[in-house]
Structure 1
Amino acid sequence: MNVTPLHPVTISVVICAYTDRRWDDIHAAVASVRAQTHAPHEIVLVVDHNPALQARLADSLPDVVVVANREDRGLSGGKNTGVAVARGEVVAFLDDDAVAAPGWLAAFAAGYDDPAVAGVGGLTLPLWPGSTTSAELVSAPVPASTGRRPRWFPEEFDWTVGCTYRGLKPGPVRNVMGGNASFRREVFAVAGGFSSGIGRTFHKRPLGCEETEFCIRLRQRRPAAELLYDDQAIIWHRVPVERARFAYFRERCYAEGLSKALVTRSVGAQDGLASERAHALKTLPLGALRGLGATLRGDLAGAGRAAAITVGLAWTAWGYGIGSTAGARTARAAR
């Protein structure tokens, strides 16, 4: 961690953890941050209302700032706690079941050479079942194997497993993805923190979008702020066996629809659905046609990918409709 930074900006890395079932994952994530060519200012590990895990991690990672989530249970509270503790000029977020490529922070740092840039997100690649284990990644953070993607799983829906999806291009974006993101620390005073009513909590459904709502809120309060997607800021995110199944795929799509309804209730439908409309109207139809074309060329799994795109879009729209209806009822009752 004594490598001279390629750019002068200081970056604190926040990792949120909640369960000892990810013990090896957490240590692999920390090891990958230690191995960065742009040395982190500090590593902040926020433990979500689990004192026993916090004590174990503090003992095993003495060079890491290990703190308890000071806010409500869930990812938003953990991230807010990490921001409050961090002292770097930039705060970067890494999922506890992900590992970063050695140039991850250097790519982020380069983005902040432009003073207009308020946030930079990166490329998240999946580690499918059968990939290099987390225990192996502790000593060698770059995976030798990324496992095997289910043949029916469309790249356009990689967001369902927390990864970058087909159709996202480097450059300015509406929002970055939360597990591979960074922001100038100063913008949190402008936009506030991540909303505890949106995103992963103790809710039984796999909700998300806390970073989407935050980014939109930031741009609404500081319109000149620019957010970038840089595909050189690379991490690998683990996909457990249960999340590589079609049942989870459908559930995650439905939950995303519910989450989008919460986002639009907070920031408005125009901003809240702008990127989703473009993805649904352009990227997904092209993906379905690509799958059908592959089927005609002899790849029978292409039909499965086309069907999954259709089902995924339908389930997401269904979740959004249910969430919007419930929100309207709540608003009427409040009045």
Structure 2
Amino acid sequence: MLLCAAGPGVPARAGAPAAEPDSRAIGIQLLEAPVARHDDPRALRYIVDHLPPGSTIKRKISVVNHSAERRRLDLYAAGADVADGKFRFAEGRTANELSGWITLDEGSVTLDPQESARFTATVRVPREASAGERYGVVWASTVPARDTSANVNIVHRVGVRVYLDVGPGGEPPSDFTIGDVVPARDGGGRPSVDVAVHNTGGRALDMGGSATLSDGPGGVRAGPFDVVQGTTLAAGEAGSVRVLFPAELADGPWRIALDLESGKVRRSASGTITFPEPGQAGTRTPLFDRLARSWWLRGGSLAVAAAAIAGVALLVRRLRRRRRAVVGPAVHRGRQVAASSTGSDIRK
């Protein structure tokens, strides 16, 4: 079952959020996603799925002509891969295994200014396909009217990424950890942080999120500031994400709270940083999982409370023992007197 991923509007360029119409560009947008992934932002933007060998899926895609001239848009699938922290597009129409599984019901469309059209991409996974994640792109490209005064002709190209995992059973889990943070300032004095991230799951991740600064000089708080887009990590790959801050930001120290995400997977961490002089990198600082830290603090409080309760209980037990030690002999003597009196009555 499929879910409409977006209603009417301006289609987004692949790999970028929805934008205002660009008179020089074309746009593309995925229109549907599986109902099971309706709450996954990546699946509403890209074709993200897990399929067993022999399966087939279809996805509707929309393209629009933002320019002021009539244009022909060529539609095709091409290869891609994920390496060195990037989603890398193959040159031109270079194919790979996944793009060979993708067919489009239209090879091209001709659109008037601001006109849009829809087409369907079909992905057929061969029965003999091996397990693993594969990457590709469904492209729309156009060549503007040739400028006879120019030696180079520009090709506008936009696309929808495809992340397809193949294998029996359920989908591999997605997860990541947050490592150290390195604050820095560039030559112009603009501060930034680079945050280490490790993909510990079985699917590629497109990293996003934000950072918030607090407890700065004078108690100042700043943010949140968005993570710079563009980091994609393959399964098992380690890399980093960057956050840029305003140049006028004080050196600190600051408490930094990071909220990173890829689709439905979200992780948080925090620590303390100080920005260095312009053109310098600061001290590498470990970050701590905010949830784990919260549980640690709660656990510490509970441990203190438990220790206090145990101490009170021990004190009560000791007092009771002392009381029994004092009262016991007196009670025993009282019983002896009562027994003697009773015996005397019997003898009478």
TM-score for both structures, normalised by structure 1: 0.26
Structure scoring higher RCO (CA < 8 A, sep ≥ 6) equals 1
TM-score for both structures, normalised by structure 2: 0.25
Greater helix share, 1 or 2? 1
